Structure 1
């Protein structure tokens, strides 16, 4: 999806002890409205204490929007970094829509990209209003007033003021319709390392997550979900559950059977005592081996063409043809904070507290479930302990379940819905199980003259409220990264076979690129080796001359890693390149053989994400993405036993990367004046193929089935 960084958001002013504003979208003259200090309706609040609070329209789940958006505002406001704060904006599509989606939500690494100009304009407008207020109060021309590090000054008269003393007067000033912003050469904060704004609160325990919310009379609720995907409740016996001390009631809801209790322990014990008979007539009863068999046959059949260039008859003239097949398992997101939410229903209105990633979907879902107007549903967006796509639910199933829990109670009340780690790991909404089939043809000179890639997996978007975004076309998230490659590959065809299963699937950090990058970059590496080409030089040869940003990251990672070839000093070296979410990334992995198991000792990464708003956050996201991808490639898979039940349940059999397994990481950020692009996800895709290419260079063994630690099919 595209977006315009020059598009303006909605602008409204505020009064009282703060200044609140956003920028108008396609409007004429901006209007000033009143907003109280405890119910801001905009992006910026300036208190009498000089503190500037930025209302983040993007969920903070560890990827840094609180810090990034505050940096954009502070830059144009000319604030001091020490006075900046951030909070999650409440659910409100009109004020806080993601300009990439047209609705409020966080995902696709769009937080900074879609907000870049919007938040800068908001900061510039606030600055202009403070300057106008000072000019009026001091009786001097506005052009003679300066703002630096949070101080408004008139050098000629020596008068100075902080923001707070001017905020009430500034709120009555006309709102600039299109305030000018700085040129990159004038940036003071953008491009500089800054500590994340939420680190202190997360360190001292004052940060608020849904688990920290307690309301008077609140009941804790856990739900017994079907053990097989697609199964439903046939009947249940709650006698033993109700006998557990603290259990207040048991109710059937659309997603299962809910147990309500005065505390978490009682709720879990009550659920353990519950007896449920499940109707499995529409359930998935195939195991992983059967699913892979079906998906493989579909890939072999060729699928539907989603990209085509030239004539694949070129294969008949190939001097050498290479083929490969890749199997990727279902993957759980496994964030440190499993799903949870607090909902309070009172007098026909509902208020919720949780790490809500897509308020645009969740708010109307709650309203429809409860049968109340959307405006009577308030969502307070709290911090989330990770997500990696798990809370970005097109189906809004968590919000629907919370609302169903409240509705089934039959009376007003407050309810904390909790998913355990086992609920999370076994609860579906996985990265889709995927099969890739490849073939490539080389001529006598080792030039690639034909390329075919068939992808078979389930669609994430079809059958959800997001399907209209596809405009009748195929679900590109299923094969993105297989299409639109920058390499010159001769005649080529990319096919997609859409598979069906009751197993629920969802985006997973970097979505389709997680498997396409691995498959494309490892197969390409084998093809280049067969052609007698170096992995770095071979990739550069395949790029057209105008592919400068692609070349930039590949050449840079080769430089910082001291690339000399596939092996040296008993270690293997592998390179991989991907472009995802508008960001160009190349990585080199250094691998040792530890008794038949790969040990990644160092990773070099070059990244071009446009203007680097905060290099500290960029490096952190690349490092975190590398760790997340490495743990997954080494250890993780969700497998279904024959009959359809998930075999994994917690971190003992779905392990996270240990700190002792984390390699040293060196990140080079390419200097750029291009508009910022995403960074939360692009660090993930290249790691797996870079590691696999290094492992094959070292051992001669290609890893076409993930994870490395065990077969999944």
Structure 2
């Protein structure tokens, strides 16, 4: 195994003790801790216990004092590796920066059980904490996925990783006490050492590891009280910073294996088109070109380097069977279809009171359509994977968010069993939900199968990446609000038409009710409104849709917070005060909103052409408020400043939380100002960042982030910074210009 720097990801193939030690390059012996073991399974090996008791993460303390942590979550810039290592290190009393991190293998033991808990508890998995959930754990491992998403990494690992550290600390202290023949209660731990201060004795964890491994674990590890935390809420460094600065961090495109070849992709010119004929003679005549591999709806050129592969794609002559249905699908057809469908029956998602009666009795009725376009993920690292198909199985090196689906996809393409597909997870150069798909793994496996025995790195050039995405669904929201004579909001009738993500991913989830990923955040009970109704209409289009950072919240927050602003102005009230009245029973939300307003100087004088907008939204267990200040000049909008306040519950690493909220705001601001996928003849027109614009450094405003001190369970943070920025922006534009924008991207 090649040498690695302390926190550089490396793949492990087997969750058995022997496999972990061998695959991670760990020394034999030492203390090995498995997480999520039910009490009945303590002391058993990973291979002998039932599925529910399989170890879903590992901590190894070697005789050489090396502490190795196998992490089952992908690192795509969100700081998951740092946060999870901090949780473990807090209870183990070690420096997180000295913990060696390895990526876990693809295995049932590592499936994201938290997502199943969250789904079964209406998105509030924290409410299930402490219950006897081994049956639920088993269900999660049977139907769940090993996947990083939904801002679940810290929420899912907060308890289990601290318990693992506490168990290891307990065993180490017991081992030292036995060696010294002293009561364990007289011993303490610090910086990877067990101490007996009265006698000035100390032993390193490595010196105690073998003895500790032979001891029984506590039935219930005793965790440190919050008052004793030294790292959680205070540690502000990242374990991956140095490797990313000095170039040691391996991303997908950095993979280099012996005899490796390189391939570039060329996709069909429209959604639904299939490859009819292919003439590859001119391409094969070019230097370094090894093969042209046909795909169902495209082809790949394999060469001795990526540039030659990309160039040779232009030399291939291909004919395509264009789809007869929707062959001329374009933007106009999209909005005609959504507009025609939004008033049809659909599926009821929520109902409280008699909304039609309340609207009929309202003194003021606001009717509005809000439109949001398809959006691409546009990750900075284009889609790629490296695959080798050999007699001993399949190796996949990939920047993937979804190891389970990657393993299944490679197995299906190559015809080998899943247990013979080894997933090597690299760092991800951006994910945003795009790398939770497995299409790029399947394509790479198909090409590698054709080049049997040689590893092939398959890269999608930017234009192919942009035009063959799983896009954020376009959406049409049709809403009616009713206000009484005093301007109070008494009715909210909401219809939403959009393509369904779950209809593609897990159709059974849509059989009985609406697609939850589409409606999340539309009517979330944040505001006290007596009569409400929400329905969802699934609309099919030729455009493939998928999870995009913050998913349904990315459009529902824009609609909800814009309409609250519309209601405030119709009632001739300050938008901040109006919201606070509707939040009388929501103290956490009020506190966040008031903090954002205070820090932004809400109500202080502005220059001519300036305006401030405010928005509040809860998603993924966190509450975020934003105030955006803009200046309007000659019809153009400049964003002057963004102020963010957030209650993310218990914060593990404040610097990472602040960075993620800032990054989310920039991501959301890019989409609000520029983001749009244009369709013509069932094809995406944007191909690169010249036409699919993202926010540039010169256009990025100062961003201030303020965190509410909270003892609530941790909330997610990778996604909650996205939803509030668009409505805060358009509300600010209205305040500055009097122009109400009900569609994105912004056109003023």
Shorter chain as denominator, the TM-score bin is: over 0.9
Counterpart position of 2:58: 43
Matches within 5 A, 1:56-75: 56-75=71-90
2:729 alignment partner, SS class: helix
Counterpart position of 1:272: 314
Measure how far apart 1:156 and its partner are. Answer: 2.9
Measure how far apart 1:471 and its partner are. Answer: 6.6
1:197 alignment partner, SS class: coil
566-575 or 398-407: which moved more?
Answer: 566-575
Counterpart position of 1:91: 106
Measure how far apart 1:11 and its partner are. Answer: 11
Asked if 1:23 corresponds to 2:63, the answer is no
1:59-102 per-position Cα deviation (integer Å, ceiling 9, x unaligned): 00000111000110010001124423323222122145443243
- In the alignment, the residues of structure 1 paired with residue 312 and residue 469 of structure 2 have an alpha-carbon distance, to the nearest angstrom, of 23
Asked if 1:615 corresponds to 2:654, the answer is yes
- In the alignment, the residues of structure 2 paired with residue 346 and residue 283 of structure 1 have an alpha-carbon distance, to the nearest angstrom, of 41
- In the alignment, the residues of structure 2 paired with residue 72 and residue 569 of structure 1 have an alpha-carbon distance, to the nearest angstrom, of 49
TM superposition score normalised by structure 1: 0.93
Aligned residues: 691
- In the alignment, the residues of structure 1 paired with residue 676 and residue 685 of structure 2 have an alpha-carbon distance, to the nearest angstrom, of 10
- In the alignment, the residues of structure 1 paired with residue 634 and residue 207 of structure 2 have an alpha-carbon distance, to the nearest angstrom, of 67
602-611 or 88-97: which moved more?
Answer: 88-97
Answer yes or no: is the 8 Å Cα contact 2:61–2:206 preserved in 1.
yes
Match of 1:576 among 604, 615, 624: 615
Matches within 5 A, 1:584-599: 584-599=623-638
Q: Which runs of 5+ in 2 are unaligned?
A: 1-14, 22-26, 48-54, 117-139
Asked if 1:286 corresponds to 2:329, the answer is yes
Asked if 1:462 corresponds to 2:474, the answer is no
- In the alignment, the residues of structure 1 paired with residue 63 and residue 726 of structure 2 have an alpha-carbon distance, to the nearest angstrom, of 51
1:173-231 per-position Cα deviation (integer Å, ceiling 9, x unaligned): 32334311112111110011421111110111010111111111111122221111111
- In the alignment, the residues of structure 2 paired with residue 512 and residue 68 of structure 1 have an alpha-carbon distance, to the nearest angstrom, of 26
Counterpart position of 1:202: 244
2:504 alignment partner, SS class: coil
Asked if 1:494 corresponds to 2:525, the answer is no
- In the alignment, the residues of structure 2 paired with residue 31 and residue 368 of structure 1 have an alpha-carbon distance, to the nearest angstrom, of 36
Answer yes or no: is the 8 Å Cα contact 2:82–2:96 preserved in 1.
no
- In the alignment, the residues of structure 2 paired with residue 350 and residue 71 of structure 1 have an alpha-carbon distance, to the nearest angstrom, of 33
Counterpart position of 2:666: 627
RMSD of Structure 2 on Structure 1 (CA): 2.2
Matches within 5 A, 1:28-427: 28-31=40-43, 33=45, 42-95=57-110, 97-101=112-116, 102=140, 103-281=145-323, 284-301=327-344, 303-311=346-354, 312-393=356-437, 396-409=438-451, 411-427=452-468
- In the alignment, the residues of structure 2 paired with residue 213 and residue 322 of structure 1 have an alpha-carbon distance, to the nearest angstrom, of 56
- In the alignment, the residues of structure 2 paired with residue 235 and residue 177 of structure 1 have an alpha-carbon distance, to the nearest angstrom, of 65
1:623-669 per-position Cα deviation (integer Å, ceiling 9, x unaligned): 1111111111111211012x122111001111221111111112111
516-525 or 399-408: which moved more?
Answer: 399-408
Answer yes or no: is the 8 Å Cα contact 1:343–1:406 preserved in 2.
yes
1:413 alignment partner, SS class: coil
Answer yes or no: is the 8 Å Cα contact 2:264–2:459 preserved in 1.
yes
- Name the CA shift for 1:206/1:283 in 2 (closer, same or farther; >3 Å): farther
- In the alignment, the residues of structure 2 paired with residue 91 and residue 277 of structure 1 have an alpha-carbon distance, to the nearest angstrom, of 39
Measure how far apart 1:300 and its partner are. Answer: 3.7
Measure how far apart 1:705 and its partner are. Answer: 1.8
TM superposition score normalised by structure 2: 0.89
- In the alignment, the residues of structure 2 paired with residue 417 and residue 11 of structure 1 have an alpha-carbon distance, to the nearest angstrom, of 31
Measure how far apart 1:570 and its partner are. Answer: 4.7
Counterpart position of 2:727: 689
Measure how far apart 1:517 and its partner are. Answer: 0.4
Asked if 1:514 corresponds to 2:548, the answer is no
